Amino acid sequence: MFIRNKKLCVGCLSICLLLSIFIFVSTNSLAQQYAPAQHYPLAQQYAPAQNYPAAQQDAPANNLEAIKSWFYQYDQIRHTAQMSPAERQQADQILGKGLALFMPGNDKILAQRLLIDLVKRYDIACHELGGLQVIPATEQLHRGYYQYFSDAHHLFSDYLRLQDDLLAADPATGQPLASGLIDRKQALEQLDRCNKILDQQLRHQYGIPPYQY
């Protein structure tokens, strides 16, 4: 019993730490260079990843109008997926309540609603990015954001599982889900930073206005 309670406490603390610093990953930060297509293979366990289109043989040439059109659609997808400043503030308040998120009550219900909403948004973003035409100029960024939304979808889905069972295990490895959350969060942050660096570089290269919420 003592060992089980200890594991529960460790799981709670790990998840609280994760959520306290993860919730704004999708809208902030910049960092170092990265090649998503080479180092971040598309998720295999998430259905939309299987439908991600390869670069079409008849993909439009890297003309400016095609690139502008791609960025317009991509920006709309990101805008729909991300939280507004007001939503992010509410999320910070909800997810900053620590162990209360795991106890029956209003805080747990609010957290579940928030996370369910985020999972749905990331699901939609994956499907929409999967349907967006691949063009050579933006393929690396396209794949990087598809991977980001797919990984974020998995991470929040697993958190929802842990709200019901802190000792839930990863069916693929048999390891406790809670034990890998911090590493997964850090990998997602790195992917987010690198995607945004690449986004800035491409916008500068092709004269595309900066992304704004």
pLDDT attached to residue 12? 53
Residue 141's pLDDT is: 97
SS (H, E, C) the chain: CHHHHHHHHHHHHHHHHHHHHHCCHHHCCCCCCCCHHHHCCCCCCCHHHHCCCCCCCCCCCCCHHHHHHHHHHHHHHHHHHCCCHHHHHHHHHHHCCHHHHHCCCHHHHHHHHHHHHHHHHHHHHHHHHHHCCCCHHHHHHHHHHHHHHHHHHHHHHHHHHHHHCCCCECCCCCCEHHHHHHHHHHHHHHHHHHHHHHHHHHHHHHCCCCCCC
pLDDT value of position 30: 29
* Beta-ladder partners of 176: 169
In the chain the first and final C-alpha atoms are separated, in Å, by 49
d(CA 19, CA 13): 10
The pLDDT of residue 127 is 96
Tokens of 199: 């986004």
Query: pLDDT tens string for the chain (213 positions)?
Result: 444 454 545 455 455 545 544 443 443 332 222 333 333 333 333 333 444 454 444 455 568 999 999 999 999 999 999 988 888 887 777 767 666 666 778 888 888 888 899 999 999 999 999 999 999 999 999 999 999 999 999 988 988 888 888 888 888 888 888 888 888 889 999 999 999 999 999 999 999 999 887
- Look at residue 25 in the predicted model and tell me its pLDDT: 44
Which residues, at least 6 apart from 78, have a Cβ–Cβ distance to it below 8 Å?
125, 145, 211
Of 81, 71, 80, 72, the closest CA to residue 199 belongs to: 71
pLDDT on residue 94? 75
Rounded to the nearest 5°, which phi and psi values hold at 34? -160, 145
Report the 10 Å Cβ neighbour count for 36.
22
pLDDT for 2: 41
Q: Tell me how far CA of residue 112 lies from CA of 5, 7, 94, 137, 152, in angstroms.
A: 23, 22, 10, 39, 16
Q: What is the pLDDT of residue 111?
A: 84
